Amino acid sequence: MDYLLSDEQKMIKELAHKIAEEKIRPAAAKYDISEEYPWEVLKVMAESDMFGLFIPEEYGGCATSVFNLCLATEEFSRACGGIAVCYAASALGTFPIVLFGNDEQKKKYLPDLAKGKKVAAFAITEPEAGSDASGIKTVAKKEGNHYVLNGLKHFITNGGDAETYVVIAMTDKTKGARGASAFIVEKGTPGFTFGKKEDKFGIRASSTRELVFTDCKIPAENLLAKEGMGFIVTMRTFDMSRPGVAAQALGIAQGALELAVKYVHQRVQFGKAISSFQGIQWMLADMATEVEAARGLVYSTARMVDAGVKDVSKESAMAKMYASDVAMKVTVDALQLFGGYGYMKDYPIEKYVRDAKITQIYEGTNQVQRGIIALKLIKEMAK
Amino acid sequence: MNIIVCIKQVPETTEVRINPETNTLMREGVKSIINPFDMYAIEEAIRLKERFGGKVTVVTMGPPQAESALREAISMGADEGYLVGDRAFAGSDTWATSYTLAGAIKKINQINVANNSLADSGKGHGIDLILCGKQASDGDTAQVGPGISTHLNIPQVTYVKKIEEVKEGMMRLERMLEEGYEIIETSLPALLTVVKEINEPRIPSLKGLMRAKSAKITALTQKELNLDPQQIGLCGSPTQVVKIFTPKPRAGGQILKGEIPDITKQLVDLIKDEVN
C-alpha cells in the first residue's frame, strides 16, 4: 500500500532499512544469545542521525516527529525487535524532557541524546505498580536545594546502559496520583545503583534492569515540570511513545511475514514449492492483510500525534493493541509455515515469536488498552 | 588534505548480461550502484579529511544518471561532485577513460585555484591524493586508476590495504600482495587504488542525505575539458572488443591409479598420445 510518504520520509525509511539489513540483521542472533547491549549497532544508528528523529533541531536533532520515529522503529524491528527496542526506549526516556523540560534542561540533556552519545530510559514501573501506577512507592523528599530519592524501579528497559533516566517518584503520598513528580536522574549519581538484570523470553538484546535509589540526592533543578505533574508527564509521554511500540510490533510482524513468504517459496514438498498450496496461500493472504491493516492504524495515529491532535489516547491504544495482537498472530503463523525447521533456533523465525510477545504486555497490557478504548467509547456516547 | 576520489557507477547484479550483438553491457532494468571497491576509496578519503581537514571531491565519468552515485558519495561525507559526461566520450575504453578523467582532474584543479578554495601546492595539481577502488566490479580491468596516474605523471600505488603514516608531502602505505604485503613510501601527490581490507564504508547520515539531495553537481563536458579529439571516446580507444564469451569450464582431470611404476608408464603413454 502506498502511504504517500514525503521525500524526507522515504529517505528516513530507506536509511533505516539499510541500517537494518546491513548492521542489525547480521547481528540479531548474536545479541539474542549473549544478551549483550548492542552498542555497536546503536553507534551506527547514532552516526546516521537516527536518535535525532525525536529531538527538536535547536537541540541538535532533526525535529521531533513520531511518524518518522515509527518509520525507523518499524524498519529496525523487521530485522530485530530487541535491538529496535533499545533505540525506541531511548525515545521513551527522551520524550518527557522534550515535552516538559525547561530550556536549561533541554540544553543540558538533549544534544547528547540527539547524537546518540548517551541513551535514555523512562522509569515508572515498580514491583507493585505495573498497570496500576497509583501503587508507586518510590519517594522523593525535598531537602533544601535537593530531592532525596528512595525506592526501587524494576523492568526498566535500557536500565544500566542508559545515562539519562526520567524517574517517577511520589513527592506527596497523601495526594495519590496528583502527588507524583518526574525527575531527571543521571547515571553515576551517588545512591543510584542497579539491581537484577532480567533474563528474558524475547527482546534479549535489550537490557531490562532494576534501578535502586538509596538516599539518592539529586539537584532540585532536575525536577521536570512541577511537583505533582508526574502522571501528566507520564500520560503525555505514553501518548507519544505508544505509536512507537505499535511500530515495533508492526515491524516484527512484517519481518516474520517476509521470512515466511520467502521460505514457502523455496520449500519443496510433494514435488512443488509449498507456496503453490492453497492452504499456505490463504495463511499468507490473511497475514499480509492484517499487517497492512495494522500499518494503516499505526501510521494514521502517528500522523495525528504529529499534527497536534489533543486527545489521541483511544487511537494510540487501538494502534498499540491491534499491531501487537497482529504481531503475535503473524509470527506464530510464520513459524507454522516454517514447519519443524521453524521450531529450531538455527532458523530466525522462533525469535520473532519471542520478540513479539512483549509488545502485547509493555507500555500498558492489551487488556488495559482495551479498557482505555472502551471507556472512551462509553464517554463519547454519553456526551 | 585535498583528495579526489574517482568512482564508477556499475550494475548491482554480479551477473552482468552482455548484448551478444554489440558486445556491450546491458544496463536496462538493472539497479545501479557505486562500484563496491570505490566505496572503500570514498570512505578512506572521508577518514583522511576527518583527520587532517581539507576537501573530498568525487568524480565520475558516465551518463547523466551517474549523478546519483556522486550524491551518494556526498551523503557519506564528500564535499562536492563532478560528472564528466559527453556524447564525445561514449565508447571509451580504459585508455580513453583514464585520459579523460586525468583531463577532468586537471580542470577541477584549475577551478579550485580560480575559486581560491584551494591554494595550488606548487606541485602542479594542488591535489594531494587521488583515490580509486582497485577495479570496477563490471569490467574488472583495474586499469583506469593506474592510467590516470600515468596521464598525470604522478606516482601510483595499487592494492593499498592500509595508510600507515601521512607526513608532509609523503605517505607510507601497506600494499597487498598475494601472500602478505609490502610497505611503500610515496611522495605526494599520488594515486592510490584501495582494496576492501582498508576499511568498512560507513552508512550515510540523515543530515548527509539531505545535504546530498541539494548539493550542486558540476558537469564537465568536452567543451570545458577541450581534450584531444583523437584520444577520447570510441576513436581514442585502442581496445576493440571482438567477442565476449563465458569460457567453457575446464574438463575434469584424470586420476591415475596403481603402483608407481604403472602410473609412470601410463603417464608417459598419455603424454606420447597427446604429442602425437
Range with the lowest mean pLDDT among A91-95, A167-171, A341-345, B259-263?
B259-263
* Best residue of B34, B76, B205 to probe chain A, by most A CBs closer than 10 Å: B205
Assess if residue B161 is contained within a domain: yes
Q: What are phi and psi of A353, to 5 degrees?
A: -65, -45
Give the pLDDT confidence of A119-167 residue by residue, as tens digits: 999 999 999 888 887 789 999 999 999 999 999 999 999 999 999 999 9
Query: What's the gap in Å between the CA of A32 and the closest CA on chain B?
Result: 24
Does A290 score more than 90 pLDDT? yes
Q: What is the pLDDT of residue B21?
A: 75
Instruction: Name all domains of chain A by residue range, CATH numbers in brackets.
Output: 7-119 (1.10.540.10), 121-228 (2.40.110.10), 231-382 (1.20.140.10)
Please list every residue in chain A whose beta carbon sits closer than 8 Å to the beta carbon of residue B209: 11, 15
pLDDT of B182 reads 96
Is residue B93 predicted with pLDDT exceeding 80?
yes
Report residue A335's pLDDT band, with 50, 70 and 90 as the boundaries: very high
Of B203, B207, B210, which has the smallest distance from its Cβ to A18's Cβ? B203
> Using a CB-CB distance cutoff of 8 angstroms, which residues of chain A are in contact with residue B12?
none
Q: Residue A35 contacts by C-beta under 8 Å, 6 or more apart in sequence?
A: A199, A200, A204, A205, A207
- Tell me whether residue B259 is in a domain: no
Range of lowest pLDDT (A92-96, A275-279, B109-113, B175-179): B109-113
Closest CA to B101 of B151, B64, B46: B151
**For cell 530485530, what's the residue?**
A80
Q: How far is CA A313 from CA A249, A305, B17, in A?
A: 18, 10, 55
Reading the block at residue A208, the C-alpha cell is 531490562
- Chain B residues touching residue A45 (CB < 8 angstroms): none
This prediction has a pTM of 0.86
Q: Which of A309-318, A360-369, B13-22 has the lowest mean pLDDT?
A: B13-22
Beta strand pairing status for B156-167 and B217-220? unpaired
Residue B124 has pLDDT above 50, yes or no: no
Would you call A47 and B205 a contact, using CB atoms and an 8 Å cutoff? yes
pLDDT value, residue B275: 86
Look at B202 and A18 and tell me if their CB atoms are within 8 Å. Answer: no
Which of A35-39, B144-148, B187-191, B240-244 comes out lowest in average pLDDT? Answer: B240-244
The rounded radius of gyration (Å) of the Cα atoms in chain B is: 23
* A19 in reach of chain B (CB within 8 A): yes
| pLDDT tens digits for range A178-190 | 999 999 999 999 9
Sign for the pseudo-dihedral over CA of A104, A110, A115, A117: positive
CB contact A55 to B (< 8 Å):
no
Query: Per residue in B259-268, pLDDT tens?
Result: 999 999 999 9
* Three-class SS state of A226: coil
Q: Report the gap between the CA of A50 and the closest CA in chain B (Å).
A: 7
C-alpha cell belonging to residue A102: 525547561
Is residue B163 included in any domain, yes or no? yes
Quick one: which of B4, B102, B111, B6 has its CA closest to B54?
B4
CA distance A214 to chain B (A): 41
Q: Does A63 touch chain B (CB under 8 A)?
A: no
Whether residues B203 and A12 touch (CB distance < 8 A) is answered with no
Grid cell at residue A142:
525535598
Q: Which of B200, B206, B209 to mutate to test the interface with A (most CBs of A within 10 A)?
A: B206
> Chain-wide mean pLDDT for chain A?
96
From chain B, the residues in CB contact with A49 under 8 A are 205-207
User: Has residue B21 been placed in a domain?
Assistant: yes
Asked if residue B261 belongs to a domain, the reply is no
Kindly identify which residue of chain B lies nearest to residue A61, measuring between CA atoms. Answer: B207
Q: Is the pLDDT of residue A76 over 90?
A: yes
Identify the DSSP state of A198. P
* The pLDDT of residue B27: 67
Q: What is the pLDDT of residue A222?
A: 97
| Contact at CB, B205 and A49, closer than 8 angstroms | yes
CB contact A117 to B (< 8 Å): no
- Tell me, yes or no, if A21 is annotated catalytic: no
Would you say residue B141 lies in a domain? Answer: yes
Phi/psi of residue A130, each to 5°? -100, -100
Side chain identity at B78, as an amino acid letter? A
User: B245 pLDDT exceeds 80?
Assistant: no
CATH number at residue B202: 3.40.50.620
Quick check: B125 pLDDT over 60? no
- At residue A177 the predicted structure's pLDDT band, cuts being 50, 70 and 90, is confident
Q: What is the pLDDT of residue B14?
A: 64
CA distance B212 to chain A (A): 11
At B134-189, the pLDDT tens digits run 999 888 899 999 999 999 999 999 999 999 999 989 999 999 998 899 999 999 99
The contact set of B with A (CB < 8 A) is: 202-207, 209-210, 213
Nearest to A171 by CA among A158, A160, A181, A163: A181
pLDDT above 90 (res B252): no
Cell numbers describing residue B191: 594515486
> What is the DSSP track for chain B?
-EEEEEE-EEES-SS--B-TTT-SB--TT--EEE-HHHHHHHHHHHHHHHHH--EEEEEEES-GGGHHHHHHHHHHT--EEEEE--GGGTT--HHHHHHHHHHHHHHHHHHHHHTTSS---SSSSS--EEEEESS-TTT----HHHHHHHHHT--EEEEEEEEEEEETTEEEEEEE-SSSEEEEEEESSEEEEE-GGG--PPPPPHHHHHHHHH--EEEE-HHHH---GGGSTGGG---------PPPPPPP-----S-HHHHHHHHHHHHHHHH-
User: Chain A residue closest to B76 (CA)?
Assistant: A48
At residue B113, the pLDDT reads 80
Q: Which residue has the cell 547481528?
A: A27
* Chain A closest-CA separation from residue B98 CA (Å): 33
- From B205, which residue of chain A is nearest by alpha-carbon distance? A48
Torsion of CA A302, A305, A306, A307, to 10 degrees: 120
pLDDT class of A248 with cuts at 50, 70, 90? very high
What is the reported pLDDT for A130? 83
* CA dist list (Å): A375 to A236, A320, A381: 18, 16, 10
User: With contact defined as beta carbons under 8 Å apart, do A100 and A229 qualify?
Assistant: yes
A197 three-state secondary structure: strand
pLDDT at B20: 74
Q: How confident is the model at residue A273 (pLDDT cuts 50, 70, 90)?
A: very high
pLDDT, tens digit, 9 for 90 and up, residues A302-332: 999 999 998 999 999 999 999 999 999 999 9
Domain count, chain B: 1
Active-site residue, from A74, A198, A210, A363? A363
Cα separation, B39 vs B36, whole angstroms: 5
Q: Which residue range(s) make up the domain with B124?
A: 2-236
Q: What is the ipTM of this complex?
A: 0.81
User: Contact B203/A22, CB-based, under 8 Å?
Assistant: yes
Nearby residues of A72 by Cβ (< 8 Å), 6 or more positions away: A12, A13, A16, A50, A53, A87
pLDDT at B123: 45
